[in-house]
Amino acid sequence: MTMVPSSSQTIGPFFHFGLTDKRSIGTIADEQVQGERVRLRCRVLDGEGIPVDDCMLEIWQANAEGKYNHPDDRQPKAVEPGFYGFGRMATAADGTCDFQTIKPGRVPGPGSTLQAPHLNLAVFARGMLKQLYTRIYFFGDPANQEDPVLATVPGERRIALMAKPESTKPGSWSFDVHLQGEQEAVFFDV
Within a domain: 6: no
Residue 28 lies in a domain: yes
Confirm whether 184 is domain-assigned. Answer: no
In a domain, 10, yes or no: no
CATH of the domain at 147: 2.60.130.10
Q: Is residue 117 part of a domain?
A: yes
Show the beta-strand stretches assigned E in 35-183: 37-45, 56-61, 86-90, 96-102, 118-124, 132-138, 162-165, 172-178
What integer pLDDT is reported at residue 71 of this predicted model? 93
Domain that includes residue 87, residue range: 15-178
Residue 189 placed within a domain: no
Percent of the chain with pLDDT over 70: 88
Q: Name the amino acid, one letter, at 79.
A: V
Position 21 pLDDT exceeds 70 = no
Percent of residues, the chain, with pLDDT higher than 90: 79
| Predicted pLDDT of residue 12 | 54
- Ramachandran angles phi, psi of 8, nearest 5°: -80, -10
Decide if 188 is inside a domain: no
156 Cβ contact partners less than 8 Å away, ≥ 6 residues apart: none
If one counts the domains in the chain, the total is 1
Domain contains 187: no
Q: For 143-168, what is the mean pLDDT?
A: 95
